[in-house]
Structure 1
Amino acid sequence: MKLFLVGVAVGYVLGAKAGRERYEQIMRAYRGIVEHPAIQSAAGVARAKIGEKLGREG
């Protein structure tokens, strides 16, 4: 039973570490995409168009 619990604990620690590293990798990729100048420009255009539509209807 002790060996099983040690195995569970080791698996948990290694899995948590791998999970955190993967999360950080995904977040770096997300930030790289979101902060890209072309994406920022497209988002600005979309916001302006939405603002125009809401301004005319409201």
Structure 2
Amino acid sequence: MGKLTFVVGAGLGYVLGTRAGRAQYEKIKKASSKVWDNPRVQQNVQKVESRVTELARERGSAVTDKVASTVKDRLHRSGDQSATGQGYAGGDAGQAGGSSDSTQSQSGF
């Protein structure tokens, strides 16, 4: 995957950076279309697509569970910090009766 990303990036950089003009762009576009339309390339694309779909089905619920767990953990930590006033610029901004002046003086405005 890293090599493909590099080749695509290098090709895109060349196309965007070249001063050869429209003719060079059309030449590159034609060559890339030939590669993309090659039956062997399309066969490999289909293999990758089916493998990604298979992996998504196999591991989709595990990923969903992991994301949900991480979000809950982060929300729990954030709740702990907001209860003590930590994690905010004013420090006491989460407390009742905290003035906006204290936050402004700490931020330098």
Q: Give TM-score, length-normalised by structure 2.
A: 0.37
Highest RCO, 1 vs 2 (Cα 8 Å, sep ≥ 6): 1
Structure 2, gaps ≥5 residues long: 1-18, 61-109
Query: Shift of the alpha carbon at 1:29?
Result: 0.2
CA distance in structure 1 between the partners assigned to 2:24 and 2:38 by the alignment: 21
For the aligned residue pairs, the C-alpha RMSD in angstroms reads: 1.2
Structure 1 runs not aligned, ≥5 long: 1-15
Q: Note the C-alpha offset of 1:20.
A: 0.3
Identity %: 26
1:1-58 correspondence to structure 2 within 5 Å: 18-58=20-60
Structure with max Cα Rg: 2
Deviations 1:1-58 (A, max 9, x none): xxxxxxxxxxxxxxx7x41000000000000000000000000000000100000111
Structure (1 or 2) with the greater helix fraction: 1
